[in-house]
Structure formats: structure tokens, C-alpha cells
């Protein structure tokens, strides 16, 4: 990409979810994201840790990746997000961690025809995380699963 930002400096997709509280539990508790903040429409304010109020909007992130969760608005379930990981070793470590914690792994890590190792994870609202890293040269990753053609 070219260095001219054109004035843009950030990108935060918004995912429509059925329950922001449930999505926070999934992304923070299972996938290791951090909660940046949460908002309650009913309270009309940002929530503090330990508040009993129901969040209706939130920001979660891990590393440089951030996205927002909107309760029953701003989009539709079933969006796809592509997340880049520096190494296949890190992707494998996340696969092991996320599997152990009970995340819904749709496809385990495998080498794709385009030279990347990818896995796919689905959240409770049907959003798919396509997690990708540069491939290792290992024989066990020479073929991709049959779902490769499904984007």
C-alpha cells in the first residue's frame, strides 16, 4: 500500500451481534481480546468494570486489531474478518489455545493454494474470523481442506 493516508488513520469494523455481553465473553474470555470500553443505551453512559448494566455497544481488540460490537443494529450477522498473524507458529498456538477454551473452529490451520496458512473461527453470531499467516514449509500442510472454495 502507498504511504499516503489520505487523512485516514484507523479502521474499526462494526459487527452486529445478538448480545454484546455474550460477544464480550466470547472475544475476551475465549479468544484473548481485551475490552476497550462498553456502552449502555439504557444507562446512557460508558460502563465501568463490574457494572451490572447491560452493554449494548463495545470495542474489543487484540494487538493492532480492533472492532466494535453493536447489539441488534449496524450490520448483519455472518460477516467475515481477515486477521493477519506474523507466523504460522503463532497461528498454531492460537489454534491450540482457542480449541482448548472451546472456541468454534470451523477449519483448523492448513496451507492454502495461495501460500498462506489459514484457520477459520466462527463467533456466536455467525461472524467468521479468517486468521492467516505466512506458510511454513511442512509436508502436513500441503493440502487445504475441501472448504477452500467457500469464501
CATH code for the domain of 122: 3.10.180.10
Sequence-distant (≥ 6) Cβ neighbours of residue 109 within 8 angstroms: 88, 91, 92, 95, 117, 118, 119, 141
Residue 94 domain boundaries: 80-145
One domain, residues 18 and 50: yes
Domain count across the chain: 2
Position with higher pLDDT, 27 vs 135: 27
- CB atoms under 10 Å from CB of 107, counted, come to 19
Q: What is the pLDDT of residue 74?
A: 95
**Could you tell me the CATH number of the domain that includes residue 35?**
3.30.720
Mean pLDDT value across residues 33-54: 96
Q: What is the pLDDT of residue 137?
A: 64
Residue 132 confidence (pLDDT) above 60: yes
Mean pLDDT value across residues 12-27: 98
pLDDT digits (tens, 9 = 90+) for 68-94: 999 999 989 899 999 999 999 999 999
One domain, residues 67 and 21: yes
What predicted TM-score, i.e. pTM, was given to this entire model? 0.85
Percent of the chain with pLDDT strictly greater than 90? 79
pLDDT digits (tens, 9 = 90+) for 100-118: 999 999 999 999 999 999 9
Percent of the chain with pLDDT strictly greater than 70? 87
- CB atoms under 10 Å from CB of 9, counted, come to 6
Amino acid at each position: 500500500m502507498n504511504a499516503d493516508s489520505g487523512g485516514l488513520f484507523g479502521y474499526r469494523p462494526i459487527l452486529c451481534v445478538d448480545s454484546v455481553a455474550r460477544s464480550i465473553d466470547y472475544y475476551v474470555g475465549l479468544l484473548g481480546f481485551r475490552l476497550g470500553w462498553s456502552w449502555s443505551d439504557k444507562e446512557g453512559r460508558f460502563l465501568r468494570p463490574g457494572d451490572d448494566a447491560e452493554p449494548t455497544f463495545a470495542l474489543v481488540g487484540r494487538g493492532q486489531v480492533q472492532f466494535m460490537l453493536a447489539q441488534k443494529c449496524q450490520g448483519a450477522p455472518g460477516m467475515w474478518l481477515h486477521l493477519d498473524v506474523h507466523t504460522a507458529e503463532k497461528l498454531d498456538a492460537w489454534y491450540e489455545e482457542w480449541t482448548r477454551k472451546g472456541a468454534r473452529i470451523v477449519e483448523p490451520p492448513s496451507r492454502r493454494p495461495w501460500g498462506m496458512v489459514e484457520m477459520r473461527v466462527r463467533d456466536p453470531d455467525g461472524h467468521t474470523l479468517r486468521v492467516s499467516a505466512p506458510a511454513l514449509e511442512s509436508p502436513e500442510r500441503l493440502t487445504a481442506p475441501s472448504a477452500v472454495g467457500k469464501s
